[in-house]
Every structure is written in structure tokens, then in C-alpha cells.
Structure 1
Amino acid sequence: MASTGTQRRGDTRQRIQDVALDLFVEHGYEKTSLREIAERLDVTKAALYYHFKTKEDILVSLFADRAEPLDALIAWGESQPNTLETKKEFLRRYVEQLKDSSRLFRFVQENQAEMRDLRVGETFRSRVEATVGLLLTPAPSLADRVRVTTALLSLHAGMFALRDVEGDDEEKYDALLEVSFDLLTAAHEGDRGQGA
């Protein structure tokens, strides 16, 4: 019986996260209140407070729930040889995580100003920096840093930018990966060319 109560609390927590994220994306983080979240859920503010005291707590929980798979991917990348094929495989796996968290990344894209001021923004930035670091070659040129950063950020912003372009999401992700691979390859080969 105890697990049923725990399961219900987990389901409620998930519902709160889902509804809050929908509202954050629809109206923006700043314009969404806890009252609106409670109303959309059809619960009292007191019931909402039982799980989350602030809307930032909700946002932190959303990122925390998605951090574990990304941290595991970063750890995998750090344990691999610094080859172009490893980096491409990393990006393939990264795209799968983006697909699973597309609404959250859309929120980040549309709420960049707020992200700078929230504690979760620093956590997000540090993971992006760690990911860029994995994709760089030793002693990259400034241009190669730009290529790698652009390769990663194009995956983040690409689906948002392509939302009105004809084609299904898989085709769009494939096209974004192709462009990211081109940039990654140029950065990887640029470093080899400098070392030769």
C-alpha cells in the first residue's frame, strides 16, 4: 500500500511539471504564476505547495530529472577516444535526449533572459560547456571553437527554427545532425591541419 501513495505523489509531481512546462512555454516563465498552474491542474495552491514552494522549484526539478541521462552521456563521452566518430556518436545520442526533452529545450530557447537569472541557468550552461569541451580537439583554433559551439547550438535551436518548415520531425533532426556533423568534421580536420 505504501508504494501506491508514493506512486500517486510521483504522478502528481509529474503532472505539475508537465502543466507548468506547458504554461512556461505558452506564456513565458515570468508571466506564469503558481495560481495559474494550480488552476490548470484543478487543485488548490496549498496542494501545489505540498510538492513545490515556488515555480523555480518546479523548473529546477524539470532540469534535475533530465540531468541524469545527460550526465551519463557526458561521462560516456569522457571515457571514449577523442575521435571524430566518437564525437558523431555522442551527437547522435545527444539528439535522442533532445527529442525526449524537446519541450524543455523549447522553454530554454524562448526564455533565455530568465534563464540567465535563475540558478538552473548556470547548471544548464555548465552542461553545455562540458558538452562543447567533449567535442573540441586539443588546442582548437577560435574558428574551430565557433564551429563546435555552432554544431551543438544548432541542434538546440534548430527544431525551434524549423518548426514551420515542411517535413516531419525525424527528417528535421536528420538534417540538423547532418549540418552539425559537417561543422564538427571541419573543426576536427582543422585541428589536424594545424598540427601537420
Structure 2
Amino acid sequence: MAKPVATRGFARERVLESALELFADHGVSGTSLQMIADRLGVTKAAVYYQFHSKDEITLAVVKPVFDDIEHLLRITETLPTPEARRSVSMSGLVELIIRHRRVSSVFYGDPTVHHLLEGNDEFRRLGDRLADVLLGPDPDTATRVAISMLSAGIHGCVTDPMIGDVADAELQQILLDLTKAFLDVCVHD
């Protein structure tokens, strides 16, 4: 009797899940396609059938995060004022970073991922749009520093093992409260 064959979509998801586990343990640069194949118990050719490179796997792992950012931007870019766009964007970012906490924990600060995203036109354009919404028109130096500090702080909190035991809902509420307070104090349009 022939073994049942998994659909290609299911196999791709298995590759992505295994890759994410290995990226968490070894970083992106420390993970090879052979390691992913070994984790799955398949040949390297089977992984190549799903994805043509480790870069393609890495981009596929982060794509859901960027899809959510795209959705958030479609909403915020319709708002009438820079303040409203910034506020909704920051709230949305907190929510989506919490939702993608596992991916954020693996990829935040990884220079390989940063370089890969900077070299990808689609992701870079999305990052530029997000920066435009967060910074507003003609941002002064203090605003640029404040938004950078706040963004890094949100990512840092979500990825910090010291608060890894904090439930998502509680962490989200605390980050939303702190984000609002920070923006009220530091950013004046």
C-alpha cells in the first residue's frame, strides 16, 4: 500500500515550522538547509522542492508579520491626521508584535534577517511606509529618536526572556499604556 502524500502547502508549513525552531536555537546564519531537512527526516532535495533557498524560507517565515503590517497601514493611511495615524499604528504594532511574539523573538536584532529584509524591495517599501506613518511629516530629531526608542523598546520587551512568563494579553495592555504615555510626553506635532 502506498504511503499517503501530504499536500505541498502542508509540507511547506512543516518546513517553515522546523526552520523557525532551528532559527531560534542557532540563528538564521547558523541554520543550514541540511539541518532543516534532518529535523524533518527528509532529504535536502525535499526541502529544495518547497523552497529554493534559506533566504526564501526566512522571508516566508516573516511574511505573515509583514502581511499584518500591510493591513495595518491600509487602515492607518486613511486616517485624517498624523497624530491619529501614529497612535493607531503604534497600537496596531503592539498588537501584531504580541501576536507574532515567537517570530519576533527569533528575528529581532538578527543581522542576517535585517540584511535580507533591507535587500528585499517589497519589505523595504513596507518599512518605509511604516516609518512615514510613525514619524509624520517633517519629523524633528527628537521625534525620530523617540519613535526609534519606542519601536526598539516594544520589540525588546516582547523578546526579553526576563518577561517571557508575562501573558500576551497582560503584556499587550502594559505596552499599550506605556506607548500612549510615552507618545504623549515625547512626541509633539
TM-score by length of 2: 0.82
Aligned in 2, Cα 1:48/1:59: closer, same or farther, shift over 3 Å? same
Contact 1:16 1:41 in 2 (8 A): yes
Q: Which residue of 2 aligns with 1:73?
A: 72
Gaps of 5+ in 2: none
Aligned in 2, Cα 1:149/1:81: closer, same or farther, shift over 3 Å? farther
Q: Which residue of 2 aligns with 1:194?
A: none
Q: Which residue of 1 aligns with 2:11?
A: 12
Contact 2:77 2:85 in 1 (8 A): no
| Displacement after TM superposition at 1:69 (Å) | 2.4
Q: Which residue of 2 aligns with 1:35?
A: 34
RMSD over aligned CA atoms reads: 2.5
* 1:88 correspondence with 2:87: yes
Aligned in 2, Cα 1:138/1:30: closer, same or farther, shift over 3 Å? closer
Gaps of 5+ in 1: 192-196
Match of 1:117 among 106, 115, 118: 115
Q: Distance in 1 between matches of 2:81 and 2:182?
A: 16
Aligned in 2, Cα 1:102/1:130: closer, same or farther, shift over 3 Å? same
Q: What are the residue-to-residue correspondences of 1:36-51 with 2, within 5 Å? A: 36-51=35-50
Q: Distance in 1 between matches of 2:177 and 2:128?
A: 21
| Displacement after TM superposition at 1:126 (Å) | 4.4
Q: Distance in 1 between matches of 2:146 and 2:135?
A: 9
Contact 2:19 2:57 in 1 (8 A): yes
Q: Secondary structure at the match of 2:162?
A: coil
Q: Which residue of 1 aligns with 2:22?
A: 23
Contact 1:19 1:37 in 2 (8 A): yes
Which letter does structure 2 place at the counterpart of 1:106?
S
Q: Distance in 2 between matches of 1:125 and 1:23?
A: 25
Which letter does structure 1 place at the counterpart of 2:173?
D
Q: Which residue of 1 aligns with 2:57?
A: 58
Q: Distance in 2 between matches of 1:130 and 1:74?
A: 8
* 1:149 correspondence with 2:148: yes
Q: Distance in 1 between matches of 2:128 and 2:105?
A: 19
Pick which of 166-175 and 121-130 moved more.
121-130
Which letter does structure 2 place at the counterpart of 1:63?
V
Per-residue displacement from partner, 1:79-115 (whole Å, max 9, x unpaired)? 112254553333222222212322222222252x213
Which letter does structure 2 place at the counterpart of 1:75?
R
Number of equivalences: 183
Q: Secondary structure at the match of 1:11?
A: helix
Q: Secondary structure at the match of 2:108?
A: helix
Aligned in 2, Cα 1:54/1:83: closer, same or farther, shift over 3 Å? closer
Q: Which residue of 1 aligns with 2:182?
A: 183
Q: Distance in 2 between matches of 1:131 and 1:35?
A: 36
Q: Which residue of 2 aligns with 1:164?
A: 162
Contact 2:58 2:113 in 1 (8 A): no
| Displacement after TM superposition at 1:52 (Å) | 1.0
Q: What are the residue-to-residue correspondences of 1:128-139 with 2, within 5 Å? A: 128-139=127-138
Contact 1:87 1:135 in 2 (8 A): yes
Q: Distance in 2 between matches of 1:149 and 1:110?
A: 14
